[in-house]
């Protein structure tokens, strides 16, 4: 989708590399969307990311490309690559949910402070320690996250990251350095230099400018993670504002004056200017609903729900055994019974249960010290269900509204437009 640009327009490009595909959003100086494009991954590998990057750039009309002032890229948290001197990956990328590094996580636990976010087999640091054990790592020079590497393809400076992506690598965002305990585990020379998201990393390489007829002065900015980009897009700015992403799972993010951490619940906080973005994710979500009803039937049944008449049904709609937030129980089993004969009542009961789990999640974040919730914004596929929003508002006793924008690529376009100054708006 594209609209005709005005002659004097200045454009900013946001690129989102998610779990299943990549998306581009191009905005003008007023924040209006003027072009968007998307494609699906077949394998989610780094060669595919590279081709997706070139494809998305090429998809932008030439008259737009020459006016792009800045670009920012987000990727999935903890998706990692170990690269050689030229910045070329030595191994297939280890994706965000890769948990092969269990032994390395145990090593981290012995060195890191109790409850540290890196004490996880899927953390960036655990992945780096695992990669260093592989024979090809003798040629390693740079460790980069997905967003770091994609930005490198544009600006040509390997080994640069941002403190959102580097959080699960062990970077201390309060002291702005790597802690001593981390340097005892890994060669510091491999660790990326870390900047604030939105930091100007330099201009696009001349060969990229020539190949895609870009503005020669196009700047590349340090990125962030896809979930943080989605939060930026949502429009929340003040402590107490929250955003729930209702996708296949349910992700809660709450702007807080205080930093909160609780490894046992998977709760951690990203730095957002002078504030903190507290996060937690339940395994419950839309994946279970689609499995039970199918997408078309979900839409049909949702229109018949009567939120003013609670069902009093109580479920815990997990896709499989195990939950971490807001209940920490690896043995918690899905609860999807009893199923009434009326599918409308069954769906309503499931939505009411998800609303209770969401409310419990925000209550947990508050009990850990986060600022009390004042408003919940909604993104993701479930945001379109207005009757569910009514159910959720009743369960939380808070207003529930749609996010201004729901795409992480749009959040990255805003970051590209404002750079580090975007965090001045979080107060």
pLDDT score recorded for residue 247: 86
**pLDDT per position as a tens digit, 41-53:** 999 999 999 999 9
Helix (H, G, I), strand (E, B) or coil at 308: coil
Q: Which residues share a beta bridge with 264?
A: none
pLDDT score recorded for residue 248: 85
Rounded to 5 degrees, φ, ψ at 223 are -100, -150
Q: Which two tokens stand for residue 204?
A: 């696009």
Helix axes 146-155, 46-59, angle to 10 degrees: 50
Q: What are the respective helix, strand and coil percentages of the chain, to the nearest 5? A: 35, 25, 40
- Model confidence at 6, pLDDT cuts 50, 70, 90, reads very low
Interval 338-364 mean pLDDT:
97
Cα(267)–Cα(201) distance, integer angstroms: 30
Cα(128)–Cα(126) distance, integer angstroms: 5
Interval 88-93 mean pLDDT:
97
Q: DSSP readout, 199-256?
A: -EEEEPPHHHHHHHT--TT-EEEEEEEHHHHHHHHHT--STTEEEEEESSSEEEEEEE
**pLDDT per position as a tens digit, 146-201:** 999 999 999 999 999 999 999 999 999 999 999 999 999 999 999 999 999 999 99
pLDDT score recorded for residue 426: 87
% of residues, the chain, pLDDT over 70: 98
Please answer whether residues 206 and 213 qualify as being in contact, where contact means their C-beta atoms are separated by less than 8 angstroms: no
Cα(152)–Cα(315) distance, integer angstroms: 46
Q: DSSP readout, 96-133?
A: TT----HHHHHHHHHHSPTT-TT-STTSHHHHHHHHTT
pTM for the whole thing?
0.92
pLDDT score recorded for residue 2: 53
Tell me which residue of 79, 196, 77, 197 sits closest to 128, measured CA to CA.
79
Averaged pLDDT score across all residues of the chain? 95
Query: Of 427 and 202, which is predicted with more confidence?
Result: 202
Q: Which long-range contacts (CB under 8 A, 24 or more apart) does 52-55 make?
A: 52/17, 52/21, 52/22, 53/15, 53/22, 53/150, 53/153, 53/154, 54/212
Q: Give the side-chain half-sphere CA count within 13 A for 50.
A: 11
pLDDT above 80 (res 3): no
Neighbours of 397 (CB within 10 A): 8
pLDDT above 80 (res 5): no
pLDDT above 90 (res 19): no
pLDDT above 90 (res 383): no
């Amino acid at each position: 989708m594209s609209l005709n640009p005005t002659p004097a327009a200045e454009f900013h490009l946001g690129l989102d590399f998610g779990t299943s595909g990549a998306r581009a959003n191009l905005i003008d100086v007023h924040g209006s969307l003027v072009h968007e494009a998307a494609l699906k991954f077949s394998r989610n590998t780094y060669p595919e990311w590279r081709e997706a990057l070139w494809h998305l750039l090429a998809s932008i009309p030439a008259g737009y490309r020459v006016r792009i002032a800045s670009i920012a890229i987000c990727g999935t948290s903890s998706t990692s690559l170990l690269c050689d001197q030229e910045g070329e990956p030595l191994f297939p990328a280890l994706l965000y949910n890769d948990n092969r590094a269990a032994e390395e996580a145990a090593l981290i636990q012995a060195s890191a402070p109790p409850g540290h976010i890196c004490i996880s087999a899927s953390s960036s640091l655990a992945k780096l320690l695992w990669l260093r054990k592989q024979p090809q790592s003798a040629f390693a020079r740079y460790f980069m996250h997905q967003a770091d590497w994609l930005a490198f393809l544009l600006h040509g400076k390997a080994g640069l990251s941002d403190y959102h992506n580097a959080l699960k690598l062990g970077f201390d965002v309060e002291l702005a350095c790597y802690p001593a305990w981390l340097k005892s585990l890994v060669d510091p020379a491999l660790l990326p230099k870390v900047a604030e998201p939105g930091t100007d990393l330099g201009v696009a390489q001349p060969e990229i400018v020539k190949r895609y007829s870009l503005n020669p002065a196009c700047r590349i900015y340090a990125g962030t993670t896809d979930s943080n980009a989605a939060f930026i897009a949502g429009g929340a700015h003040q402590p107490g504002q929250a955003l729930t992403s209702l996708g296949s799972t349910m992700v809660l993010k709450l702007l807080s004056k205080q930093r909160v951490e609780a490894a046992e619940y998977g709760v951690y906080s990203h730095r957002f200017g002078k504030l903190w973005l507290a996060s937690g994710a339940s395994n419950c979500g839309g994946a279970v609903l689609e499995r039970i009803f199918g997408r078309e039937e979900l839409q049909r049944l949702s229109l018949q729900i009567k939120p003013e008449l609670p069902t009093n049904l109580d479920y815990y709609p997990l896709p499989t055994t195990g939950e971490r937030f807001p209940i920490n129980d690896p043995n918690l089993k899905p609860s999807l019974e009893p199923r009434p004969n009326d599918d409308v009542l069954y769906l309503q009961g499931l939505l009411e249960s998800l609303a209770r789990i969401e409310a419990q999640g925000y209550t947990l974040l508050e009990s850990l010290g986060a600022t009390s919730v004042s408003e919940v914004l909604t993104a993701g596929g479930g945001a379109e269900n207005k009757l569910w929003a009514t159910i959720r508002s009743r369960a939380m006793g808070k207003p529930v509204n749609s996010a201004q924008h729901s795409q992480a690529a749009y959040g990255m376009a805003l970051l590209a437009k404002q750079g580090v100054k975007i965090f001045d708006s979080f107060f």
